[in-house]
Amino acid sequence: MWTEEIEWVTKKIDKILNQNFKTGLDIGSESLEYRTKKQPWNQTFYDYLNSKNIQIKTMDIKKSTKPDYLHNIIKPIKIKDKFDIVLATHLLEHIPILELGKTVKNIEKLINKNGILIVSVPNNYPYHAFPIDNGWRPVPKELVKLFKGKVLATSIIETEHKLDKYKGQPNSRSSCVILKY
């Protein structure tokens, strides 16, 4: 997530988090180095959740990121664990379009009853090929249609470019959605 998304999400979920929320999962989490050095603002969100006594686990497709769960979210879920908070931020634009439906079902299988799902995707953002970029840039309404959860909040968040390779380009926007299950 970008800093502006983290600020918005934190304000929204701070009102709904309760002591029953203990576990979280970040799907497509990247490595600890990525979260703390390349995009350190992501660690601030982990720190916020940890301050609420929510233990975050990670899931990634790349073994080199050393995730808690090495798994391709497109593939059937074999993980028995379910989580109170699931993050699928800036993930779906890296899923082949024809695999989105299956991926959404897999994500939803990981959410505890009364848990929440935080989803964000680019709405207006430069093409970024790694690992792939399917070119999908939905508005929140389109994003919500994919999922079964009850909508708690949606927004289009304008974000400033923080990475050198995008400096000088117009600000980007992300579609953000928070759902309850």
pLDDT digits (tens, 9 = 90+) for 8-17: 999 999 888 8
Q: Residue 167's domain is classified under what CATH number?
A: 3.40.50.150
Does 45 reside within a domain? no
> What region does 60 belong to: left with phi over 0, alpha with psi -120 to 50, or beta?
beta
- The pLDDT assigned to 166 comes to 62
Torsion angles phi and psi, residue 108, rounded to 5: -65, -30
The domain containing residue 167 runs over which residues? 3-18+72-180
Residue in the block written with tokens 């050198």? 164
pLDDT digits (tens, 9 = 90+) for 45-74: 999 999 999 999 999 999 999 999 999 999
Residue 31 inside a domain? The answer is: no
In 3-state terms the chain splits into helix, strand, coil percentages (rounded to 5) of 30, 30, 40
Q: What is the pLDDT of residue 163?
A: 64
In a domain, 83, yes or no: yes
In this predicted structure, what is the pLDDT of residue 21? Answer: 96
Q: Looking at the domain assignment, is residue 165 inside a domain?
A: yes
Q: Which residue has the tokens 């009853």?
A: 113
Q: Does 109 map to a domain? A: yes
In a domain, 114, yes or no: yes
CA-to-CA dists, residue 158 to 69, 75, 99, 176, angstroms: 31, 32, 27, 11
- Residue 159 within any structural domain of the chain: yes
pLDDT in tens, the chain (181 residues): 888 999 999 999 988 887 899 999 999 988 888 887 777 788 889 999 999 999 999 999 999 999 999 999 999 999 999 999 999 999 999 999 999 999 999 999 999 999 999 999 999 887 777 778 998 999 999 999 999 999 999 999 998 766 666 666 677 899 999 999 9
Q: How many domains does the chain have?
A: 1
Q: Does residue 65 sit within a domain?
A: no
For residues 41-64, b (16+ Cβ closer than 10 Å) or e, as one string?
ebeebbebbeeeebebbbbbbeee
